[in-house]
Structures are given as C-alpha cells and as structure tokens.
C-alpha cells in the first residue's frame, strides 16, 4: 500500500501506547496518526530501552495458511493443497516481540513455525489477484506456534493454534518492500532451524490475499500468516526462539512452562 519504505512499530511506555518509525541505531521516532491514514513524526528519536514492543497491528482476525511450502507438507506427511488451506487464530493469541510464549498444560508438544506476516492496509473484498498487493500495508514476522499433538488429535486447527501467546508478531511492519524478495528464518537457542525464500511458497502473497478476500472482508490491521517452511520442531521451557526476516527485523520470544 505504501510506496515509501518504512518500518513502523507499536510501542508502550508506562502504559501509554504509541506508533513510531523505527530508525537505524536502535532508535524510534514517535509519530501521530496511524499507519492506515498516515503517520507524522512529532518528536526526536529516542532509544527503545524501557519500551515494550506491542504486536504491530490489532487485527479483527488472524488468517493462517497451512501447507504453503511443499517441503513442510512433506515433513508432516500431508498432501500439497490444490488451493490455499486457511484457518483462523484468535486475536487473543497475539504476543509482541519480547513477550513470553507460555506452554499450555494441555499439550505435550508445542512447535515453532516461523512465517512471513502480511498486514492489510485497507478494507478489501473481492479484489483481483493482480491488484491484491494494493491492499497490503506491509509485512512482519510471525511465529504460528502450534500444539502439534492437539492438532493431530482434533484434526481441525482451532485449539492447537489458538492458545494465548501462540501468535507472536513483530517487531514492526515493513512497508514499501517486495514480498517476493523476503526470506524467513527461525532460530532456536542460536541454532538456525528454518530458512526459505518467499519464492518457495506454493501460493504467493497476492494469491493469498485475493483468495481470502473472496471469502471474508479484510479490514485494516488484519494479519495473514502465510505458512511455514520445513524444519518445524518442538519448544521447551527456557528456549529462546527468533523469527528473522531481513528488512523487517528479529521477533524474539522466550518460552515459559505452564503456570509460570
């Protein structure tokens, strides 16, 4: 949606929430307005120490895409879908950069799934694929955390992907970039576990947006998690998981035991 490359963060300082433009050197510049109608910086850049990174959007819905990388479908023994396989995660599952991922007592196997997130910039319904990127504000990092044992048990995905803290997103939204050039990586305790370019997706971003918008109206701030590449694996209490996309940043979360 935006032709000017920017990195936009949503932050909290002593209970006050504000938007900011992310600058080099670990600084942010507070801005008035919002990313959907326009941001206007009004203060000098400031360091991020002491600030809390909030999820960079407040979606009415989070749409996940399953099996969008052939190698990931294969590693779980699933067929490649003929059209995008979508599911919903509740907004209550959102967590920000630096927030904990809390393991639920109900699951014995919780996996990381690093993904490219698409943030919708305007209300859209029934858009053609060739124009679908016009509805996109920008891109962020997403960890589609999944209780794998519950996913297999339930068949459908709601419980397995819907626990609180099961959708870390951030640290910011990058605008004015080409999604085809993005590469998503996931690191657990400093070891790279996933790495794949967006060009490995079965269904590219424009196809996903157009497909979803034929089913449901997308609102500004809605989030699409575009699927994870191969290499998913379990998390344990004490792990640090980072989803990294060059041009966007590092989404880092620590894993906590049930009841922590």
- Distance separating the N- and C-terminal Cα atoms of the chain: 40
Backbone angles phi, psi at 184, to 5 degrees: -100, 135
Is residue 104 within 8 A of residue 129, CB to CB? The reply is: no
CATH architecture group of domain 55-256? Alpha-Beta Complex (3.90)
| Residue 77 neighbours by CB under 8 Å, 6+ apart | none
- pLDDT of 1: 46
Structural domain spans, the chain? 55-256
The HSE-up count of residue 239 (CA atoms within 13 Å, CB side) is 19
Question: Encoding tokens for residue 144?
Answer: 């589609």
- pLDDT of 139: 98
Q: Kindly list the averaged pLDDT for each block of 10 residues, start to end, along the chain of length 260.
A: 81 96 95 96 95 98 96 88 96 98 98 98 98 98 98 96 98 98 98 97 98 98 98 98 98 94
- pLDDT of 3: 59
In the block, residue with structure tokens 């500004």:
220
Task: Give the C-alpha separation, 241 to 142, whole Å.
Answer: 11
Task: Give the C-alpha separation, 195 to 182, whole Å.
Answer: 11
């Amino acid at each position: 949606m935006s032709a000017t490359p920017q990195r936009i963060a949503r932050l909290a300082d002593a209970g006050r929430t504000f938007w900011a433009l992310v600058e080099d050197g670990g600084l942010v510049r507070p801005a008035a307005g919002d990313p959907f109608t326009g941001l206007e910086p009004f203060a000098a850049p400031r360091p991020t120490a002491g600030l809390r990174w909030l999820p960079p959007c407040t979606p009415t819905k989070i749409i996940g895409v399953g099996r969008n990388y052939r190698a990931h479908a294969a590693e779980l023994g699933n067929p490649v879908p003929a059209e995008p396989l979508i599911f919903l995660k509740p907004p209550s599952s959102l967590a920000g950069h630096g927030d904990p991922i809390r393991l639920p007592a109900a699951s014995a196997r919780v996996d990381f799934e690093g993904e490219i997130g698409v943030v919708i910039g305007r209300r859209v319904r029934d858009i053609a694929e060739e124009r679908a990127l016009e509805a996109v504000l920008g891109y962020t990092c997403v960890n589609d955390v999944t209780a794998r044992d519950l996913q297999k048990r339930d068949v459908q995905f709601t419980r397995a992907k819907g626990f609180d803290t099961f959708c870390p997103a951030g640290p910011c939204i990058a605008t004015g970039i080409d999604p085809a050039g993005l590469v998503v990586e996931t690191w657990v305790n400093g070891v790279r576990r996933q790495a794949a370019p967006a060009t490995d997706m079965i269904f590219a971003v424009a196809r996903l947006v157009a497909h979803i918008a034929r089913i449901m109206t997308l609102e500004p701030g809605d989030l699409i998690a575009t699927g994870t590449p191969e290499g998913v694996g379990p998390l344990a209490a004490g792990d640090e998981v980072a989803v990294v996309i060059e041009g966007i940043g590092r989404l880092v979360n620590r894993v906590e035991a049930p009841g922590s």
